[in-house]
Structures are given as C-alpha cells and as structure tokens.
Amino acid sequence: MTRSTSDYPRAAARASRFEPVAESASTNAALRALAADAEAWPHLSVLLTDNQTAGRGRLDRSWVAPAGAALAISVLLRELPTIESRGWISLAAGVAMADAVAAQLPEHEVGVKWPNDVLVDGRKICGILAESTGEAVVVGAGVNTAMTAEQLPVPTATSFAVLGADVDHDRLIADYLDRLDALLTALLAAGDAEASGLRHATTTRCLSIGRLVDVALPDGSTLHGRATRIGADGRLVVEAAGSEHLIAAGDIVHARLT
C-alpha cells in the first residue's frame, strides 16, 4: 500500500486530518498520545497503516497481521454524545464499517456480530476497539485486506483477498468515515439512539439477533441463550431459561452464530 495522502483523495477529503504512516506499533495508542494536541489533531482526524506490529483488540487480545495484509485505521472523535449514549460509539463504528465493506462485496452477506465485529458470510473481516482518552474517543478498526488463507489468525476469519475481491482502500476508508460521522452526528443532534435512527441501523445490521449465542460471564460461567434484541442503551438482550439477560460489551467474549 502506498503511504501518501494523495493516494487517498476521497478519504483525505473526508477526514479533518489524514495521516498514513509506514508502520505503527498501534495506531490507537499513537493517536491517543497525539490527541493531547487538540489544535493539531481535531475531530475526525485519522491515522492509518498497513503495518501494525503490536495492535490490540477487545479484552486486550493482540491483533497482529503480516505487513501489507491488513489496514489499521484509527479515528479521533471529539464531538461526542452524552455520557449515557457513548456506549453507542463502537456500535456505530461496526455499522459504518459493515456498510463500507458491503459496498465492495455486493454478492456477500455482510453484517455485525454484536457488538462490532464485521462478518462476511459468517466470518470475521474486521474488529473494532473504541478507547477514551481525556475528553475524546479513539475508534480503531482492523480490516483484513490482502491476508491469504494461510495468514488468517483463526478458521472463522476471512479477508478481501480470500473472497477474491480487489478492495479499493480509498473508497473503503472514505465510506467508513462518511457513515461513521453521519451516524454520530445524528446521535449527537437527537440525543439518543432511538430518535437518531442508530438503534434501528444497528439492529438491521446485527447478525446476532434471533440467533443462539454463548456469552462468557464475569464469574467464569457461560450463558447460552437466544439474542432477542438490542436494548435502548446498546446492550444485547439474551433470553435464557425463561429470563432476559442484559449483556454489556465488557461481558461478552464470544457470541457464536449457530
């Protein structure tokens, strides 16, 4: 992947600041450090690399890919909704990336495994991690682009290359930024996910709804039940043994579509 803003005209035009770098240990960690300079790094600034050497996923899992095989995209958000609605930020990012991926894979089923793993035909192509830093939030996304079948970390993963698709990186990033900004701007203006349409958009893209899921609980036990809906606060509602359980993002380790 080339590493100049001129190679990403659409994405660079969509971001307030767009910085592709040759290598980064973690674009999220780097952008969190840079976020201290609010003037230099305004709302919707982007840090991008195709060679992330020490990335992290949800629950502090490592996320590493061979150089050139995946995109690591981190977006800095300063215009934030209320504290009560901030749990929707990572859900919005999942919807936005699913929409961006689907635009380039029209013949495939693209959706989100709650809370924000993007799946294509049931296999993971992108993971997302949102982290607070002061008065801002950094949203990182790792997209498997050129990764071969042998390079995939788990059998349940996939990539654009494995799917035989020639991904347009500029379009992917621009579409993602455009959709993410639109969803969060609407959330900020409306005040809640229901009125803004974000809850509906998330439910529409969520592949977990109506399916059996396994959820690892804090006490070490596993909840097995059926995901029925997404609550008003963004939590997943799982029905098991006749009772409803509200699952927060921090509680879920694995939701297996069965």
CB 47 within 8 A of CB 21: yes
CB 158 within 8 A of CB 152: yes
Question: Among candidates 68, 116, 109, which has minimal Cα distance to 92?
Answer: 116
pLDDT tens figures, 118-140: 999 999 999 999 999 989 999 99
Provide the residue ranges of all domains of the chain, joining segments of one domain with +. Answer: 5-203, 209-247
Q: What is the pLDDT of residue 67?
A: 83
pLDDT tens figures, 214-238: 888 777 788 899 999 999 999 999 9
In CATH, 5-203 is 3.30.930.10: yes
Same fold flag, 5-203 and 209-247: no
Rounded to two decimals, what is the model's pTM? 0.92
3-state SS record for 115-182: CCEEEECCEEEEEEEEEEECCEEEEEEEEECCCCCCCCCCCCECCCCCCCCCCCHHHHHHHHHHHHHH
Burial of 198 (0-12, 13-18, 19+ CB in 10 A): buried
Tell me the fold of 209-247: SH3 type barrels. (2.30.30)
